[in-house]
Amino acid sequence: MRILGVAATLAALVALVAVYVVYFLEASPATVSTAVMNSDGSANLTLQVVGAYGKHPFPDWVSYLVKDTSGEWRHTTIWKLPAHTLVHVTVYQFDSQTGLRNNFLAQVRGTVGGTATYTDTGNTGKGSGLPVYNNTALSVLPPAEPAHTFTVPGIDLSVPLVGISNATENVCGVAPCSMKYAHTTIAFSFRTPGAGSYRWQCFVPCAFAFLYGFGGPMQTVGYMDGLLDVT
């Protein structure tokens, strides 16, 4: 009976691993070309972060989306960028504040000039107490304000993304979100390194209902982490 019990446990573990492979590895999103090239040789990368994807298979998961070179929003987090190129990033951030567990992540690192520029749109919920950012260049945010981060450890790039007010009612519920919904806009520039695959991730524990906030979308490519495919 003991041998049968061990065998049944091992079979269950194998089944769980198989489910993980099918749903989280084999279902990896496509790599898309995301760099819109400018006449001066620089490139533009446009992202949005939503509090809930709103669609199958995980409608309540927080997620990143990217605009491809044809101007369409794509639900993928594997982005193709040119090597040794100045990239101008614009992030439309539609999620509310979560706050940081490590204040080190409140710093802007690895950007041109060491800053990011923040602008509020529809972020004036009654009694929110939030500061108003209007094209404001900052090198650090108050640690309670970020909703997410965009962090690429391999190139020491990290930008905290300020969240909208929790009191705001004009909240987007289904991605992609239009600009009519409350959001903050974050702009910064960085230079891509040589060719390679560079992992990026959000380091704010924003996966509610998962242990310590780091499960689910936080560990799944296609939602809150991905790769920069630099060629």
pLDDT in tens, 106-127: 999 999 999 999 998 766 554 4
Kindly report the number of other CB atoms within 10 A of residue 228's CB atom. Answer: 23
Q: For residue 95, give both structure tokens.
A: 């999620």
Which pLDDT score is estimated for 26?
A: 43
Residue pLDDT, tens place only, 137-147: 999 999 999 99
pTM (predicted TM-score): 0.85
101, 143 contact by CB (below 8 A): no
Which pLDDT score is estimated for 132?
A: 77
Q: For residue 189, give both structure tokens.
A: 């520039």
Answer whether residue 203 shows pLDDT above 60: yes
Who has greater pLDDT, 216 or 66? 66
* pLDDT class of 167 with cuts at 50, 70, 90: confident
* pLDDT class of 14 with cuts at 50, 70, 90: low
Residue with tokens 């769980």: 16
Kindly report the number of other CB atoms within 10 A of residue 150's CB atom. Answer: 23
* pLDDT class of 169 with cuts at 50, 70, 90: confident
Q: What are phi and psi of 146, to 5 degrees?
A: -65, 145
Q: What is the CATH number of domain 31-230?
A: 2.60.40.420
User: Amino acid letter at 67?
Assistant: K
Calpha distance 151→204 (Å, rounded): 10
What residues have CB less than 8 Å from 179, skipping those under 6 apart?
92, 121
Tell me which residue of 138, 129, 182, 177 sits closest to 160, measured CA to CA. Answer: 138
Answer whether residue 27 shows pLDDT above 60: no
Which pLDDT score is estimated for 177?
A: 97
The mean pLDDT value of the chain amounts to: 87
Answer whether residue 48 shows pLDDT above 60: yes
Please state the domain extents for the chain. Answer: 31-230
Which pLDDT score is estimated for 120?
A: 87
Among 31-35, 45-49, 117-121, 203-207, which is the least confidently predicted range? Answer: 203-207
9, 2 contact by CB (below 8 A): no
Calpha distance 125→118 (Å, rounded): 17
Q: For residue 13, give both structure tokens.
A: 């573990």
Who has greater pLDDT, 7 or 58? 58
Which pLDDT score is estimated for 198?
A: 98
166-178: b (≥16 Cβ within 10 Å) or e? eebeebbeebbbe
Q: What are phi and psi of 19, to 5 degrees?
A: -65, -40
In the chain, % of residues over pLDDT 90: 66
* pLDDT class of 210 with cuts at 50, 70, 90: confident
Answer whether residue 91 shows pLDDT above 90: yes
- HSE-CB at 162 with a 13 A cutoff on CA atoms is 30
Kindly report the number of other CB atoms within 10 A of residue 84's CB atom. Answer: 11
Calpha distance 86→40 (Å, rounded): 10
* Cα 180 to the center of its chain, rounded Å: 20
Which pLDDT score is estimated for 49?
A: 97
